[in-house]
């Protein structure tokens, strides 16, 4: 039965898009490894039966996705890059900004993911908690260095999700944390003095989380971490009109 009122026009992909899809598949499946150069343009043009402009259109698509890098000049060419979460974070941030999502919403989404990861980590316990503790204790060395401490704290958050063991949550958290890392750098640059008390509070919270995990208190650990992340959100976004565009520019 025909679908009345619906368009039956089917968009046919351009040649450049098809070539990009073929090369993307080879990169994602590992047939082409990070750091490896693609065959030269002449070889690829012959292989796909296309002109140089069409091949370069495919390169532009893959370069915009961050999975190849095109070098110009006599010794240039296209080289494979491992997919980078920062590219996904930038597009995600722009999409959120386009939809009018406030920066605080990013922090709240991070909270949901990390609290779930804390529950998963608590269920595993043992060596994973020891690994988190080793990362947490590095904070003592950088308390008086705002940018270094921000990097340390971001590593703690990434480690929590990673040790939770769910890789999909890890990818999603990575995108959010890339946005938040950029916001933290902007936040620090707008402050005239280092915020050592804030760093000390964060370090104490990180240590308390480790203690609760070692005491096999998953419910208490999740509840505590939610309260801590809620306070971080308030501190980082209260009375702050910074937009995602500013953070990611």
Domain span including residue 99: 86-248
Instruction: Give, rounded to a whole angstrom, the gap between the first and last alpha carbons of the chain.
Output: 50
SS3 214: helix
CATH number of the domain to which 105 belongs: 1.20.120.530
**Phi, psi dihedrals of residue 165, rounded to the nearest 5°:** 95, -10
Do residues 207 and 135 make contact, with C-beta atoms less than 8 angstroms apart? no
Cα Rg for the chain, rounded, in angstroms?
A: 23
| Both structure tokens of 120 | 């998963």
Closest CA to 214 of 150, 118, 89: 118
Do residues 41 and 53 make contact, with C-beta atoms less than 8 angstroms apart? no
Closest CA to 164 of 131, 135, 121: 121
C-alpha dihedral sign at 162, 164, 167, 170: negative
Last residue of a domain, one of 64, 80, 96: 80
What residue ranges in the chain does DSSP mark as E strands?
A: 68-71, 77-80
58 and 158 in a single domain? The answer is no
Closest CA to 122 of 216, 208, 207, 210: 216
161 and 210 in a single domain? The answer is yes
| Both structure tokens of 121 | 């980590």
199 and 230 in a single domain? The answer is yes
101 and 62 in a single domain? The answer is no
For residue 97, with 0-12 CB atoms within 10 Å meaning exposed, 13-18 middle and 19 or more buried, which class applies?
middle
For 112-132, give the DSSP string.
Answer: HHHHHHHHHHHHH-THHHHHH
Do residues 166 and 120 make contact, with C-beta atoms less than 8 angstroms apart? yes
CATH number of the domain to which 27 belongs: 1.10.10.10
167 and 200 in a single domain? The answer is yes
Q: How far apart are CA 8 and CA 150, in angstroms?
A: 53
Do residues 62 and 68 make contact, with C-beta atoms less than 8 angstroms apart? yes
What string of pLDDT tens digits covers the 249 residues of the chain?
555 556 566 677 889 999 999 999 998 888 998 889 999 899 999 999 999 999 999 999 999 888 899 887 767 789 998 877 777 777 887 888 888 888 889 999 999 999 999 999 999 878 999 999 999 999 999 998 988 999 999 999 999 999 999 999 998 998 888 888 888 888 888 776 655 568 899 999 999 999 999 998 889 999 999 999 999 999 888 755 666 656 655
């Amino acid at each position: 039965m025909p679908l009345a009122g619906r368009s039956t026009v089917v968009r046919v992909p351009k040649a450049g898009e098809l070539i990009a899809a073929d090369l993307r598949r080879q990169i994602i499946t590992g047939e082409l490894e990070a750091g490896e150069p693609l065959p030269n343009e002449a070889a690829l043009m012959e292989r796909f039966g296309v002109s140089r402009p069409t091949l370069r259109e495919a390169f532009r698509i893959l370069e915009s996705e961050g999975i190849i890098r095109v070098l110009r000049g006599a010794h240039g060419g296209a080289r494979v890059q491992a997919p980078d979460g920062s590219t996904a974070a930038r597009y995600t941030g722009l999409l959120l900004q386009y939809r009018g999502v406030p920066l605080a919403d990013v922090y709240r989404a991070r909270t949901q993911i990390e609290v779930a990861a804390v529950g998963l980590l608590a269920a595993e316990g043992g060596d994973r908690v020891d690994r988190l503790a080793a990362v947490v204790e590095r904070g003592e060395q950088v308390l008086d260095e705002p940018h270094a401490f921000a990097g340390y704290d971001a590593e703690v958050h990434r480690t929590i999700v990673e040790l939770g063991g769910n890789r999909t949550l890890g990818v999603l958290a990575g995108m959010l944390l890339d946005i938040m890392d950029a916001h933290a750098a902007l936040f620090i640059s707008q402050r005239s003095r280092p915020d050592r008390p804030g760093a000390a509070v964060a370090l104490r919270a990180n240590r308390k989380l480790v203690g609760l995990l070692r005491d096999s208190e998953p419910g208490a650990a999740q509840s505590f971490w939610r309260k801590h992340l809620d306070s971080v959100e308030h501190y980082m976004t209260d009375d702050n009109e910074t937009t995602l565009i500013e953070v990611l520019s």
